[in-house]
Amino acid sequence: MLIRRVHALLLAMVFVLVGVLVSAAPASANGCDLDPFSPTCVVTIPVPGGGGGTTPNPGGGGGDDGAPGGFTPGPTTCKFDDTEVPCSSDQGSYSNNSNCTGYVKLQDPQTAPPAGKTAAVGAWYTCSAYCPPDAGGGRDCYGASFWSDTPPAGVVRYTPAQAAAALVKTFRLRGIDIGMAPESKTHSDDPAGTAPYRRTWVGIPVWLWANDPAPLNYGPYTETGTFGGTTVTATAKVSSVTWTSGDGQSVTCATGTPFNLAAMKDQLAQDSPTCGFRFKKTSGADQFTVTATSHWTVTWTGGGANGEIAVRDTPSSTTVRVGELQSVNTDAVNPLG
C-alpha cells in the first residue's frame, strides 16, 4: 500500500508539471470504492493536442481557421498491468498509455471552454479510471475532465460546435461581384484597341453596390451535414461590405444601390443614396485600387445547440483611373454614364 501511495503522489506531481487543464469529475460507477486520500486507481490527464497520426478532417481543408482536427484510431489491443482489457465500454474508448489509464469519451453536457479556447475547435472529455475486477470493496475510482483541441485516440464524435465548424469549412464563400459607376468600358476618346477600364474625375460621385448577389458571394447560403455523428445546419450571409477607395477613404455599406444610367442620364450627378464616395485626388499616371471586403455572419443549429462561427472576410477589387476636370458643364451628359 505504501508503494501505491508513493506512485500516486508522483503522478500528482506530473499533473502540476504538464499544466493540463483539469476539472473534477464524478466517481467511477464501477463499484470500485477507494479512500480518496489513498488512491490506487490513478488518472493521468492528456496534454491537449497530443496523439499520433490522424485521419483527414471530415470537414476538409486545412490552415488555422478554427476547424477541429481529424480522428485518431484507438488501440486494437488494450492492457492494464499486462492484463488484457476491453478496448471500449459505455465509458468510452480505452487508453493504455500515459494520457489516461482508463476510458475516454466526449463529456456530455459540455461546459464553457477554458480562457483562450473555443468550442468550435476543442472540447471537454472525461477519463474514467480503469479499476481491475479484483479491486475489492471499500474503494472508489475517481475520474477527471480535461480539455483537448483535438479528439483523443478512439473518440470519433464531435460536439455540435465542432460539427458546425467542420461543415462551414466546406463552404466556398467568395467576394462580391463589384457593381460600380463608373462602369468598365472603352471611352470615345480612347485610341483604337484600348481595353475597357473604369474612369472618373475628382469630386464626381462614385456609386457602389453588390452586383447580382448570389448565395456564395453574398448569401444567404445554407447547408446541412453530418460530421462526427452530429448533424447540423449552418447559414452564411454577408452582414456588411467595407469599401476602400485607394485614395484613403473607407465606407461600410449593405448591398448598395445599383446605378440606373437610363434614369439618371439627363440629371445632374448625384451621390448614391446608400453607398458611395467621391475621389479627393487624382491617380496620376496610375489607377486607384478599389477593394470591397465582405464581412460574413455564420449561424448554425443542431445537436440540441446553436451558435455563431467566425469566418474570414472575402475581398474583391477593381481599378479606377481618376483624372481632374478644370471645369464642369452641368448641361453635359451625366459623367457617371
270: number of CA atoms within 13 Å, CB side? 14
pTM: predicted TM-score of the whole model, two decimal places: 0.72
Helix (H, G, I), strand (E, B) or coil at 277: strand
* pLDDT one-digit tens code per residue, 230-240: 999 999 999 99
User: Per residue in 72-130, pLDDT tens?
Assistant: 888 888 887 778 888 888 889 987 555 567 889 999 999 999 999 999 999 999 988 77
Give the total residue count for the chain: 337
Please give the backbone phi and psi of residue 106, each rounded to the nearest 5 degrees, phi first.
Answer: -65, 130
Which H or E element spans position 205? strand 205-210
Summarize pLDDT for 32-85 with one digit per residue, the tens.
232 332 222 222 223 233 333 332 333 333 333 344 556 888 888 888 777 888
DSSP codes of every residue in 273-335 = SSSEEE--S--TTS-EEEEEEEEEEEEEEETTEEEEE----EEEEEEEEEE--S---TTSPPT
User: 60 has which bridge partners?
Assistant: none
Mean pLDDT value across the chain: 77
